Amino acid sequence: MKLGAFSMSLSVKNLKDSQIFYKKLGFEIFAGGHDVNYIIMKNGNALIGLFHGMFQGNILTFNPGWDENAQLVNDYEDVRKIQEQLQSEGINLLSTCDKNTAGPASIMLQDPDGNIILLDQHI
């Protein structure tokens, strides 16, 4: 199963403080901004998303169809196919997408320890 680019989406109390902290760890702003309450930061192939007031807890995020530079990849599995595979394995999904559509869509699931996983396809 090809899940796409991986990042950690962190729910932060203060976007500016978190940005300053991760900058000290070598991360640079890649996308987003304070005006939209999130910043995506990058250090090499490592990606983190800093989100203020958008969700509770932290989320493991995968982007089918993208690499770590948000560039399209030719060989990827559509999120609808991934959804079908997960359901056939008996995995309960917290949210699903319409299998009769195409383009951007997302699904969410939870691992056995309660960690939320988001598969967010932008293409």
Is the predicted pLDDT of residue 113 greater than 90, yes or no?
Answer: no
The model's confidence at residue 89, banded by pLDDT at 50, 70 and 90, is very high
Phi, psi of 20, deg, nearest 5: -60, -45
Residue-wise pLDDT tens digits, 8-19: 999 999 999 999
Q: Return the exposure string of 63-91: e unless at least 16 CB atoms fall within 10 Å of the residue's CB, then b.
A: bbbbebeeeeeeebbbbbebbeebeeeee
Q: How many domains does the chain have?
A: 1
Show the domain range for 85: 5-121
Residue-wise pLDDT tens digits, 15-32: 999 999 999 999 999 999
CATH of the domain at 66: 3.10.180.10
Residue-wise pLDDT tens digits, 54-82: 999 999 999 999 999 999 999 999 999 99
